Amino acid sequence: MSNIIATGFNSGSVDGELDSLEKDLRRLAGIGVDTVELALTSLDLIAGGRIIPERADRLVKLAGAFDFRYTVHGLVSSNFMDPATCRYQLDAAKALAQLCDRIGAGILVQHGGHLRPEQVHERADADRRERDALHELAEFCAPYGVRIAFENIFTAEQGQYRQTPSQVAETVAAVNHPNLVALIDFSHAYIESTYRGLDFRDELRAMAPVAGHLHVHDSFGRPQASYKPFFVQENNALGIGDLHMPLGWGDIDWDDIFAELEFLPDTVLMMEIGPRYRNEQPQSLERAKSLMARNGKAAARAA
């Protein structure tokens, strides 16, 4: 039996208000989605690390109006390597963990950190700073039953310091906390492997044993480089960048990957394929369910 327990799509507000989030949640419920990852930082819910009570109450009421399993995406700009903002990052993440508890979300996504090219003097302590912050956050999350899902990202500018997917796995293993798991973003791993000349599948194999959350969306693993599209759709046309396309539009071999890898118990397969692809989302949902079944058969054979 697969350790993947659910699949669904991400959702958020387009204007900082709950009304637009509610509209998208109703749409997702209408196509049979049962699991949603909420981009809570697309809403004005936290100010200076403090929860805004009346806004939080409205969120809880909205979340309770649907029969979804929820996970939460934390700050997209999260960066525990940055010494100037690490404390603020932690304060905001702790507030998000409390919001997770209030809406019954068991996962809080945290992006892997980075340093800008000019931050050369901060590099020596960057990994330690990130590990210390992750441990502090995991300890905070423990009473709430929330797991931090630590996500691999890709190098966004030349000279930037980033951890590879396998190094993200090493970080999770080093912190060694039950409330911290790795999050495999397959497309991010593909792009970073291309950029660094790494073996994409080996990087996934390194992450899988500590992975308890998955971000799935398609691409061709081509770094963005300096190309600037006029229409965002032109990136798709060239197959360049972090495209977040429907499954099957890129060239990631999903069937082979999910037939091979095993993940931690209670893993959620979350598709980061937004409403731009609303017409393709039902097909991607069926494809994700087939990947879950394929993963279950692979796990059964391994047992």
Per-residue pLDDT of the chain (303 residues; tens, 9 = 90+): 789 999 999 999 999 999 999 999 999 999 999 999 999 999 999 999 999 999 999 999 999 999 999 999 999 999 999 999 999 999 999 999 999 999 999 999 999 999 999 999 999 999 999 999 999 999 999 999 999 999 999 999 889 999 999 999 999 999 999 999 999 999 999 999 999 999 999 999 999 999 999 999 999 999 987 778 899 999 999 999 999 999 999 999 999 999 999 999 999 999 999 999 999 999 999 999 999 999 987 777 776
Predicted structure pTM score: 0.96
Domain boundaries, the chain: 4-302
Contact in structure between 120 and 81 (CB atoms under 8 Å): no
pLDDT at 303: 67
Give me the phi and psi of 40, to 5 degrees please: -65, -25
pLDDT at 2: 86
Contact in structure between 36 and 99 (CB atoms under 8 Å): no
Which class would CATH give 4-302?
Answer: alpha beta
Q: Say which residues have a Cβ less than 8 Å from residue 43's Cβ, sequence separation at least 6.
A: 12, 13, 16, 17, 18, 21, 55, 59
Rounded to 5 degrees, what angle do the CA atoms 19, 25, 27 make? 110
